[in-house]
Every structure is written in C-alpha cells, then in structure tokens.
Copies of this chain bind each other. A is one copy, B any other.
Amino acid sequence: MFPDIDTPAVLIDLDVAERNIRHFQDYCTEHGLALRPHIKTHKLPRLAHLQMAAGAVGVNCQKLGEAEVMADAGLEDILITYNILGPMKLARLKALADRVPRLAVTADNPVVVDGLAETFAGAERPLTVRVECDTGARRCGVATADEALALARRIDAAPGLAFGGLLTYPAPGGVHAVRAFFQDARKRFDAAGLDIPVLSSGGSPDMWRAHEAGEVTEYRAGTYVYNDRSLIAAGACHPADCALTVLSTVVSTPGRSRVIVDAGSKVLTTDLFGQTGYGMVAGRPEFEVTAVSEEHGHLMAGAGTARPRVGERLRIIPNHACVVSNMVDHVVLVRGDKVVATEPVAARGRVT
C-alpha cells in the first residue's frame, strides 16, 4: 500500500475531496444558501481554489495568519471569524485589508469593535464587521438579539467600519436555536431600521440540515471537504467519503493482542471529539485506535481477529480531520491507489 510513501503520512484522496466539494455545494445551491468553506480543515490554497471554482462565495479563516496565507494564494473574499485585538494583530489586519478586495471579521464585544474602529478610522474602504452571536455553543458570541443590535449600532456608527451581518457557530443539533435567534434579531433590527446583510451559520455535523434554519443566508463548513470519524458517527457521511486518512505501519505486535502502529498523537492528535478511541482503521472496522502516545498508536486484535503483522500498513480514519491537517508539514495527494503530489500544508501552525 503506497510503497513509496514513508509512514506515518497524511493522505488526501483528491477524487473523494472533489466529490465532497461538489456534493455539498450542490446542496447549498439547491437551497439558496451561500457556501463559505472554512479552510481550517485543509489549510491548502489548492483546495480553497477548488471550493471557489465549485461555487463558494468566499472562504472562512479562523486566524489572521491563515487569512494571510489565503491572500498570498490569491483568494479575494476572506472572512476571519475571530475577535482580533491588540496592536500587532490590528496592524496586520490593516495591511491585509489593503490587499484583499473583500475582507470581513467578527466581533462579540465593544473592546474589539473599538480597536477595529480606531485602526480603520481613516481607511479608504471600511472594514466589514459581523456580530458573532451565541446560539447555544457557549463559546464566543453575544447572548441576545438586543446585545447584537447594540454592537451592530456601534459598528455602524464607526466611520471606518461597516456592519456586515450576524454570524453564529451553533451547538450540535442547534438548527432551531439558530432560527429562533435570527428571527428575533430580524424583528429587532427591522424595528431599528438596520439592515442585516448576511445571516451566517455553520458546522459540518448538521450541514445537511442547514436549510432548516430558515433565516440563514450563508453557511460555513470546513470538515465536509475531508469528512472524518466524527461525521460518520453524526450520520453526515460514510467511511468511503473520508478523503483524509493516516497511512501507518505496524511496528510491534507485543503480548497476545496488541498492535502498535507508528501513528500516535503527533499525527492523530488526542482529540476525542465525542468518540471512543482515536481513530478507526479504513476497511477493517474491527480495529479502533484505543490509545495513543506521541509516536505510537495502540490497536487490539480481539479473539478470532487476524492480527496485522509487523511491517503491514493500515489506513486510519481520524476522529477529527482538521486537527490532523495541522500536525504535518506536508500531505500526500492521491487518487485511489495513485500518488499525485506532495503538498505543503501552507496554513499549518498559523496560531496568531
């Protein structure tokens, strides 16, 4: 299995990724939703361009550093869904705005809005700022439509800023909470005479239900491009839809049933993401990665199960594809059994 690739290696099957891109783009188009893919999953300009070519309205980044990589690669519509603050980041954001035709960020508090307002006070083009709303995920976001309106007014009143709409990252299963929040906001904003240009939701686990949150006009999803074990568990895809796998080699078969592979937390990560264990073996559902240390993954061969031999290779579907992309400097692009190219993960490790 891929004898020319040393292990562990992160493989991306382009046939599968392209199919995933088309599939969800078709869904969004059919339901009148603008699709804005989150590039954190792949961190690859090549795939961002494929997503744009398929019909995406722009890309979503989580960090300024990711957006800089995407801008370098020629992406022209970038949303950074993060509270950007502090003089160093604000200076970088200003420089980025000068070279990205359509750049937007989010904010959920006045400190962040005021920092953006000060930075863009004399700007040629106003910076688009969306208000992040908490619809149940309990991470960032204003808690009520009233708070959203207050923050939107603050943005609207700042000469260098333009209010760009509302945005939420919902809790799993939170489709109806999103609808309720946005409906409430729509009423209050209408009464206040403030237009909401975009109502944006996101998340891959519930992506095939995106149309049920009636108010939503834009959907942000990342993992759909690769899929992973968590999305199989969520019923959002099948194992054959998983474009990202970790090629690993059995390095030891100690004791009666242990199978030790060379993919540990340094590739698979320790992200459980709601699963038990750290990954499943593609084509051999009887094997789960039950434990990891940094450079070792543990599998158990149950009674009656043929135990893989030392030197044998296994492809592991990780719990969470996005975090695996961030662990390696390069991924290997394949189509079925054929190696296409080795691709640098250009936006890997951009933590600021």
When the two chains form the complex, which single residue of B8, B260, B269, B311 contacts A111, counting CB atoms closer than 8 Å?
Answer: B311
Say whether, besides A140-B251, A140-B260, A295-B63, A8 and B266 are in contact (CB < 8 Å). no
Pick out which of these stretches binds chain B: A158-166, A209-217, A325-333. A325-333
Alpha-carbon separation in the docked complex, A294 to B140 (Å): 13
Alpha-carbon separation in the docked complex, A25 to B352 (Å): 36
Q: Is B142 a contact of A254 with CB atoms below 8 Å?
A: yes
Pick out which of these stretches binds chain B: A44-52, A71-79, A85-93, A95-103. A85-93
When the two chains form the complex, which single residue of B111, B141, B267 contacts A351, counting CB atoms closer than 8 Å?
Answer: B267
Q: Is B352 a contact of A254 with CB atoms below 8 Å?
A: no
Q: Is B111 a contact of A310 with CB atoms below 8 Å?
A: yes
Chain A 258-297 per-residue mask, 1 if CB under 8 angstroms from chain B, else 0: 1010000111011110000000000000000000011110
Q: Is A252 a contact of B109 with CB atoms below 8 Å?
A: yes
Q: Is B311 a contact of A139 with CB atoms below 8 Å?
A: no
Question: Which residue of chain B lies nearest to A345 when distances are taken between CB atoms in the complex?
Answer: B349
| CB-defined contacts of A266 to chain B, threshold 8 Å | 323, 326, 349, 351
**Within 8 Å of chain B (Cβ to Cβ): is A143?**
yes
For the residues of A in contact with B, the DSSP-based class is: loop
Q: Is B322 a contact of A349 with CB atoms below 8 Å?
A: no
Question: Which residue of chain B lies nearest to A258 when distances are taken between CB atoms in the complex?
Answer: B138
| CB-defined contacts of A108 to chain B, threshold 8 Å | 252, 254
User: Most B CB atoms within 10 A — which of A7, A88, A252, A349?
Assistant: A252
Minimal beta-carbon separation of A82 from chain B (angstroms): 7
Q: Is A88 a contact of B310 with CB atoms below 8 Å?
A: no
Alpha-carbon separation in the docked complex, A111 to B298 (Å): 19
Q: Is A62 a contact of B295 with CB atoms below 8 Å?
A: yes
Q: Is A139 a contact of B296 with CB atoms below 8 Å?
A: yes
Say whether, besides A139-B293, A140-B260, A255-B138, A8 and B270 are in contact (CB < 8 Å). no
Question: Which residue of chain B lies nearest to A83 when distances are taken between CB atoms in the complex?
Answer: B251
| CB-defined contacts of A8 to chain B, threshold 8 Å | 351-352
In this complex, the interface size class of chain A, counting residues with CB under 8 Å from chain B, is 35 or more
Q: Is A265 a contact of B255 with CB atoms below 8 Å?
A: no
**Within 8 Å of chain B (Cβ to Cβ): is A6?**
yes
Minimal beta-carbon separation of A196 from chain B (angstroms): 20
Alpha-carbon separation in the docked complex, A327 to B351 (Å): 9
Q: Is A323 a contact of B267 with CB atoms below 8 Å?
A: no
Alpha-carbon separation in the docked complex, A328 to B295 (Å): 18
Minimal beta-carbon separation of A237 from chain B (angstroms): 20
Q: Is A88 a contact of B140 with CB atoms below 8 Å?
A: no
| CB-defined contacts of A88 to chain B, threshold 8 Å | 6
Say whether, besides A6-B352, A8-B351, A140-B260, A82 and B270 are in contact (CB < 8 Å). no
Q: Is A89 a contact of B254 with CB atoms below 8 Å?
A: no
Minimal beta-carbon separation of A104 from chain B (angstroms): 17
Q: Is A141 a contact of B251 with CB atoms below 8 Å?
A: no
Alpha-carbon separation in the docked complex, A266 to B6 (Å): 25
Say whether, besides A310-B85, A310-B112, A62 and B140 are in contact (CB < 8 Å). no
What are the 9 closest A-B residue pairs judged by CB atoms, nearest first?
A111-B310, A83-B251, A6-B88, A140-B252, A270-B271, A270-B270, A6-B352, A62-B295, A329-B349
**What are 15 A-B residue pairs whose CB atoms fall within 8 Å in the complex?**
A82-B295, A85-B310, A86-B311, A109-B252, A111-B310, A111-B311, A134-B254, A139-B293, A139-B298, A140-B251, A140-B260, A142-B254, A265-B271, A266-B351, A326-B327
